[in-house]
Structure 1
């Protein structure tokens, strides 16, 4: 097998610049070489060893290269045995020993110190012919050259080696045409291989002329198509093919974050879960998340019917404020019971005493795609106010933010699969009837899951370089980076949290501040009623901030003395549930559809509370199979049926004890039936005439 010199010494034969040379002198780092034409040259040793094609052709002090494993795997046993046979003979020809073991004695006729390469080749040809192997000298020289250049792989029959491209000896023009057609199908719909074969045939006819090049057989074309389209998902999902086509045709870069919040990624994706929305309809929702690159912490995650700019801005605020422990959560989910550095962070923010085991992370750089919610002025202003560097990704390049893409996919597989829904191939027969959670309830479950499961689960992307077999969890990685990087997060203050919310300018009336048909009031507004603010474009209106997903209160900026005034919703006491703007608007719409031109605000509040109760109760009393939405006439009939049932089952006065047979008295039953019939309004009967074909025929003419 080919050899590698232990050292370069006088008398060695080397190949340099395509010719054979002999080493005649060594002086420091300079080597004097003489070729067969007696032309001498002096070369620096470093240049000689690094030159292209350099090889030591013969030396007594040499050792074999490391054995090549796996070269003979997959070959027929006869071919593998032939390669091993040639390997022994060529090793003997080059080193004088059949197995290149320094302890094996050198055969005299193959001693490289005594005989030249030509003499050894002639001796080996003679030996093989005497053994019954008729081998030509040119064949031996060709195999020796390939053995020196490629090792054992150079001795394998080329006809038994599969080409790396998989196209074999196919016509290059056909392969080029298939490659061109495959490349053009990245953004197109998926078609069958038969359609692709016709496209290749037409392309060859247009470029070379009809009938100039014969197409391969159907089976051969399918093999070529599979070889060319490997890894492109040509005949599979078009969505996967487009996603693969967006990947860069180069080595992927990797951004390493050394501290929490150094780089964070934000994105939204439709969550394939069926939920009960505030208006009672069953549909999917949208998941918006913010993930930290250094710790893989799911800093904030929200569910919305559709993501808006205010959702993206509030997501930043949620990441920078402690996550409170909700009622009903286990004490094991508290930050004080976790691996997070609770003792060192508590003096910075007293709110951490009641916080869940999720770290507070201050973003430094946020990467997002170019969705409308993220490139809006609202989100950009929020980043500017918080001192966050906003970095939009390249257009249509999801690989610029792969961590949030994978994180949202993990939420779908690890959390959403337990909820009714998922894609059409995975869901059950009637998923709408199985939708058990409203969007608010599912949001609470998602918050608890993020703390209990995601933050404590070991993540493969958080492997320590010194302990690669034990990945860390996001909470463990955060604790390690805080200790190593000296990271001290300063949580977002209440004033800053309010500043991120959407704002309106309103007048402080005699007894109220109105935002979207809702009335808010506070004692602190007393001195400012019917007073100008002295700020803004006209100096009359006051700046009011509100949370669209919690309409229980608003915040009025005090332009006179500074700070904020918290105004409470007037009907909060009668609607002790958190309501968002979407459900309030839906309740307003429901009442407007009942032909009430100006719905009373209190009635709207009651209707909104009823909607929330209906969504919160879930489908417990819902039939197993959801029926189509009924019209108003059907709803009136249902109400009458309920009234009749209630009238027959509940008496207006105490009833006497039933007789022994268990049935009610005849007169009582008849009395209830009469009352039930009174509650039902009979429709007017309109008689229909009999169709007469003869009379109708006379009218035609």
Structure 2
């Protein structure tokens, strides 16, 4: 080859490096990618430069690699009589180049591969693999079907694809445009451009899938056009860019009945503070809905002070577990670990939903001293819930199912209250 205005002979290939030697004895080691991309690189004696394949060998599936390497040994044996190339031993009688022609050796290899269980291998197949190996080397023996990526247009005629794109461009911004109208416009464009019945169109179902695949996901057929000068939606809340910047407080009812200490059914709700930037639950308080809203100071304490740092909390937790029921949702070590890993933060802005927390002048003084701003949640449309409230409702539903699944067994002295709870549709 010619590289850097000198003639070189390739002496070896290893790990993507090409080892070269010049006529005067000089040696060089060059990366293969740099060698083939260098200005003036040319293979001496070749009719045309071989195309450089952008796919790496490591990207080929293992099964295809093993198949290509197996073909390599067989093709070498057909060409030279030796699977490992010249100088690697003595050829087998049926592959001796001195005794048999190339066509006879190809036929012998086809019979051998058929006897080994290779499907659809004939002399023409062996000849084709030998010729492609001579043009492309090992890469020519790789089954290219493993490298084909999925195409959104499949095998559809390129003229039909171009017509669909043109139809989508013409229909862009029309609010009442349907996919059927896009397909009909595509048929007209194909007929006007290439003549009637000159291009075979796919079935209507295939055209429907093609339009869906080529349409802009942010602007499907029938949506209004998006322009660079279009103004954004006014009046919306600012987006939270960092944790603790905006924390929203919401309340959701647990879909489960609970029996209180006096044996009467109690409706339980959970009030939680969710960080809008990260979606993390900073604080959650379980309370009876009849008791009214949760005080804001309770949520602030839950958010700002980790329980593991509160004086005497580990001892109180151990005491509570010591006299608790037979089965708990979480063991004592797991609960301590989960509590220690829960984030703590002093919010910059509290977004209060309708009626989740009671606000007094003392709470306003505390928020002012901590630098916390209070902001009412924007009004919601009829029948629509905020994203934070929906998240809280999902978490409440998951907790309820987990609590029902982990329901402890009742003793004989607890059967009466348990029966009352079951009649009320709840859990004791």
Which of the five TM-score ranges fits, normalised by the shorter chain?
Answer: 0.3 to 0.5
Structure 2 length normalisation: TM-score?
Answer: 0.40
Specify the structure having the higher radius of gyration (Cα): 1
Q: Which TM-score applies when normalising by structure 1? A: 0.28
